[in-house]
Chain A
């Protein structure tokens, strides 16, 4: 795979059509076990639309297939969304959510201020 192609797949994961949910139902859906509740997932600092990066898995990993693929070496971390189903990920580590109202800023590792995550705080 050329350098361009390799990074293109990362860019598409970040901004391409696959990254965009349609309609209210898809946008509101948050599985019980999701990337947004994992200690290994960091919310992206550039935007808070729900995009983030895994601190363990690299690009090329696939959590959606029946037999997930885990890539642990590479130049870019796996880009995923807060509401991505992580029930089949063996690296999922549930985190305690603190400071969930987002008033105290700059703690992206411990803050999930997305409206859809509110149900887990109650």
Chain B
């Protein structure tokens, strides 16, 4: 394919390209000129491997504006101080309108710049100072600015404050980077948003806040009592909410003014002039008032997302845009015929592109763990309405079609499958997968609604509103269901559970006594004793992460402050609290993300079989081999790889151990409590954490060496270790209960694009999905790009810029991930169906 000349490439028709499965070329030929222009003009903000693309620079305007106002307001309550600083940024940050675009709003001063919030984590502030390639020219001047910012914020950030009150042992172990990742602050976070409330318009929210302030002020004039005292703290919080809402309206109106100025004084093309005037009208209307049509509803939505990211790093994008915008599409396209389907598709496609272009600086560990993207922006599609009826609409289809045209790797979609989904919608999902997007991931709605009710007690009508809070975890979008802050900061590197059980709690890689001393395994009498040590290490690892995050959560209103998010959270407006304050009625929806989980089951099975049941090797021999990183023990290592039972082959020996491990964790998940006194279930998945942690997890009894990539999924078998076909994988995964044994379970599968071509391919996939649903699995996602294409892309990346693969809970352009991750994806078993 790579040998074709430019001339023959041009001559190929769309059908011919489709037959060759060159879907990226099909997209370029079939999308509108506007979408083609916008797609090609967008800056890539995700890291390539671990580094930002050439030309991407850190924005220094935002932190300087923020800090100068912050310093002026020193001494005010934090939420008020921050509201003034954010308003100052929104009033002064440079804005721009991209040619041919119809949706406004960007985070930063120029389209090639990414932002960071200096108030959050001083370690990351220093990392930016040290980072190569992103410092704007002239470098010397920029370094002075950065050093001044860092000198001021050092010791003052949310994480600095938290580290001072954490138990010092917990702080050191948490920040060793070995056992987990994430930051226990809403400085690096994400939040569910309830658009039924937000779409009332900011003027309505301002009126509500004003009413509550007046009511409170009246109470404060009454008889003094202890009950009145907390009210004094509410007033500055409400005032902070007012300040940011008013600044948000002004920010939108700056775009309106710019668009009108361009239309009236600079634009000569009458069509574009008309578009600019429509943009002006739209930005004058929203977010101040409720949207009336599709453009206004998309614009309102995008402003909210942009504004939230002017407040903090929102690394995920919990959303259900087909459900939110569907009624406006229906009104414009079907009822009033104000827009044609093609015009609507342009708006929807641009919505994806504007989202893709959002970039916020991510520290190195996050870039390695989320290669190729800026955050896990998994948008939720389909599903049911609160009454249980089918929620799919024309907008569901429009998003799927637009995704195939613009082929961005962020956002991706998770589709809430349920038995009433119409065939035409399911076909759209399949077409996206067949086109090699790697999304939508398929989610089993009835299972996940039941799971949401089981773990947190959300009422079923609320559970049915769920969106992906990040990659995988459902969260209701209701007044008491919305999660304001990333609770998966408790992200565990689970392979350490088995590693610490083998090493008496010592971490040979980071040279530290991490877990409890559970004893030298050479002295254990039987497998039960060894398993007991594993349970203790598992409990310790979860405890330290959850403790840290719980503390970060309750201290967040004091250490960070979220005036904008609070202003759009109904329960925060009602109670005059910070949105992150868990005392304002939040029900709780926390989970522990379990990276590198399956290594536990495979390693335990190998130990049980070879050391205890068959006595083929002594524990002493195994420990010698592991301590040598298997060097000098290759024959023995291959025995452990090939002949020890492996998860994903419908083999009860290892599958029973997986179920046993999950049930131990689920028991413990109910003993860990979040600040709302709710549970902390496990959610096994990896983003590209399996690559990030490759050098931090030592040799394991499944035959893995230090440095080898870990398994890629949450419950996916090891690459190439699932020998018995796709049904055996599903059967293994169906042996535990996806409602009660954990929060959700990520399963990666690779399918053959040749086998799944045409109508026959769709029917095969549909039959596979039926088995998946019948077995009660909650998740599955597919890669359907053949090895030849992926290898060609490795050799000639320039030609394959829009080839997308599913990495884990997200998709990425193949050329943007590291070689190690690329190879890991190619190694995954291609499953033949039927």
Residue of B nearest to A13 (CB): B172
> What string of 1s and 0s marks CB contacts (under 8 Å) between A101-122 and chain B?
1111111110001111010000
User: Closest CB-CB distance, B170 to chain A, in whole Å?
Assistant: 8
In the bound complex, residues from chain B placing their C-beta under 8 Å from that of A116 are: 130
In the bound complex, residues from chain A placing their C-beta under 8 Å from that of B123 are: 15, 46-47, 49, 51
Contact A115 B135 (CB under 8 A): yes
Task: List B348-400 residues whose CB lies under 8 Å from chain A.
Answer: 363-365, 367-368, 371
Across the interface, B511 reaches (CB within 8 A) one of A45, A48, A55, namely A55
Given contacts A22-B151, A45-B365, A77-B512, contact A10 B172 (CB under 8 A): yes
Residue of A nearest to B172 (CB): A10
Expressed in whole angstroms, the Cα–Cα distance for A104 and B169 within the complex equals 32
Across the interface, A77 reaches (CB within 8 A) one of B49, B177, B510, B691, namely B510
In the bound complex, residues from chain B placing their C-beta under 8 Å from that of A55 are: 511
Expressed in whole angstroms, the Cα–Cα distance for A58 and B512 within the complex equals 9
Given contacts A44-B176, A49-B123, A76-B172, contact A106 B694 (CB under 8 A): yes
Contact B51 A113 (CB under 8 A): yes
> What string of 1s and 0s marks CB contacts (under 8 Å) between B529-549 and chain A?
000000000000000000000
Given contacts A47-B365, A114-B130, contact A15 B169 (CB under 8 A): no
Q: Is the interface of A mostly helix, strand, loop or mixed?
A: mixed
In the bound complex, residues from chain A placing their C-beta under 8 Å from that of B365 are: 45-48
In the bound complex, residues from chain B placing their C-beta under 8 Å from that of A58 are: 511
Interface: A50 (CB within 8 A): yes
Contact A102 B51 (CB under 8 A): yes
How many cross-chain pairs have Cβ atoms below 8 Å apart between A and B? 155
Contact B177 A4 (CB under 8 A): no
In the bound complex, residues from chain A placing their C-beta under 8 Å from that of B818 are: 103-106
In the bound complex, residues from chain A placing their C-beta under 8 Å from that of B724 are: none
Give the size of the chain B interface in residues (CB under 8 angstroms): 56
User: Closest CB-CB distance, A24 to chain B, in whole Å?
Assistant: 5
Given contacts A7-B168, A45-B177, A46-B176, contact A24 B143 (CB under 8 A): yes
Expressed in whole angstroms, the Cα–Cα distance for A28 and B133 within the complex equals 16
Expressed in whole angstroms, the Cα–Cα distance for A105 and B695 within the complex equals 10
Task: List A24-42 residues whose CB lies under 8 Å from chain B.
Answer: 24, 27-28, 42
In the bound complex, residues from chain B placing their C-beta under 8 Å from that of A7 are: 167-169, 171-172
Across the interface, B163 reaches (CB within 8 A) one of A11, A22, A44, A109, namely A11
9 smallest CB-CB distances across A and B, nearest first, come from A45-B177, A46-B177, A49-B126, A105-B50, A48-B364, A77-B511, A7-B168, A75-B513, A7-B169
A residues near B, CB below 8 A?
3-4, 7-8, 10-11, 14-15, 17, 20, 22-24, 27-28, 42, 44-51, 53-55, 58, 75-77, 101-109, 113-116, 118
Residue pairs across A and B with Cβ atoms less than 8 A apart, 6 shown, are A7-B172, A47-B363, A76-B172, A103-B50, A103-B818, A104-B50
Given known contacts A20-B150, A101-B51, A115-B132, what 9 new A-B pairs fall within 8 Å (CB)? A20-B155, A23-B147, A24-B147, A47-B175, A48-B127, A77-B510, A105-B49, A106-B820, A113-B51
